[in-house]
Amino acid sequence: MSRHGPLFERDHEVEVLNRMVARAHGDEAALALLEGPAGIGKSSLLAEARDRAHAAGVRVLAARGSEFERELQPP
C-alpha cells in the first residue's frame, strides 16, 4: 500500500508503474504523464510512481505547473 493511502481499483495502472520503474532501474528513461478530470487520483498515482522509483534506487525528477502557467501554449 502507498504511504499516500490505498489505490482502489488501480491494479492495471500500478502494474504499468511497476514496469516503468523496472525499465528506469535498468537505465532506460521513463516518463509518466497522466491526464484526466479533477478528482480521479492522478496525483496519487504519480506519488505512487515516485515512491516506487525512489525505493528501487531510481533518480526521480518531478515538476508541477501552477495556475499562472495555464495560459502558456507551445509555439
pLDDT in tens, 25-41: 888 887 777 888 988 88
SS (H, E, C) the chain: CECCECCCCCHHHHHHHHHHHHHHHCCCCCCCCCCCCCCCCHHHHHHHHHHHHHHCCCCCCCCCCCHHHCCCCCC
Domain ranges for the chain: 11-69
Task: Give the separation between CA 45 and CA 32, rounded to whole angstroms.
Answer: 10
- pTM value is 0.68
User: Over the stretch 34-74, which tens digit does the pLDDT of each residue have?
Assistant: 888 988 888 888 888 889 889 999 888 888 777 776 666 66
Is 48 within 8 Å of 56 (Cβ atoms)?
no
pLDDT, residue 1, reads 44
